[in-house]
Amino acid sequence: MRRVEGTGPGDGDAADAALRSLLASAGGAARARERRHRERITAAATFAGALAAGASSGGTVEIATRGGHRFHGVVDDVGAHVVTMRTAPTRRTLVVIGAIVSLRAVDDGALDGGEAGTDPTSLADHLVEASAERLDVALHGADGSTIFGRLDGVGEDVAMARTPTGGVVYVRLDSLEAVSLTGSG
């Protein structure tokens, strides 16, 4: 009987090992792809993921807050604490994520895909920048109230707005659900 190379016992061990290695790496790659896909689906299934999807869609959304405020516009940015919306050509609205009770896509129905924001910029950080411009402001409180004026300054835990009658109102930052800034277009 003539022996053919690679067909005896032990001749295929190297080939079997190579095949097992190849299948293992292909299986590992498939499992990694499946894990990444599952992580993306899980992120999109969070509220922060839905907000991010609103930003990536570029469509008009409506955000409602606990205090009954409703904002219509296009989401520009989603951070860890604040959503920035364009609510008019020269108005942007900063909405505290913890105050949001619902998000609705006005144009397209469901919002799909999106990764939650990680920018740690707080409402106070945004307002400090805006106060240098002395923009017109609407301070939307958690109690449903809105104070209109010009943003005059921001402290560690307070925003100061000069009202149209000339008085100054001091508002605790942690009592705000949102701030609309006009002239920031």
Task: Name, in order, each residue with C-beta under 8 angstroms of 74's C-beta and a sequence gap of 6 or more.
Answer: 58, 59, 60, 61, 85, 86
pLDDT at 76 over 70: yes
**pLDDT at 65 (0 to 100):** 96
Domain ranges of the chain: 47-182
**Token pair in block for residue 20:** 């097992």
Closest of 133, 134, 131 to residue 173, by C-alpha: 131
Q: For tokens 């277009």, name the residue.
A: 185
Q: Closest by alpha carbon to 84, among 178, 3, 164, 170?
A: 178
User: pTM for the whole thing?
Assistant: 0.71
Strands 82-88 and 70-78: antiparallel
Q: At what angle do helices 47-57 and 13-44 cross, to 10 degrees?
A: 80
**Residue 56 parent element (H or E):** helix 47-57
- Condensed to tens digits (0 to 9), the pLDDT of residues 85-132 reads 999 999 999 999 999 999 888 875 556 555 556 677 889 988 998 888
User: pLDDT tens for residues 3-37?
Assistant: 555 555 555 677 777 767 766 766 667 776 777 66
Quick one: tokens of 51? 């907000």
Which DSSP symbol is given to 68? S
So what's the pLDDT on residue 170? 96
Give the C-alpha separation, 12 to 2, whole Å. Answer: 18
Domain 47-182 sits in CATH 2.30.30.600: yes
SS3 44: helix
Element (H, E) at 85: strand 82-88
More confident residue, 172 or 8: 172
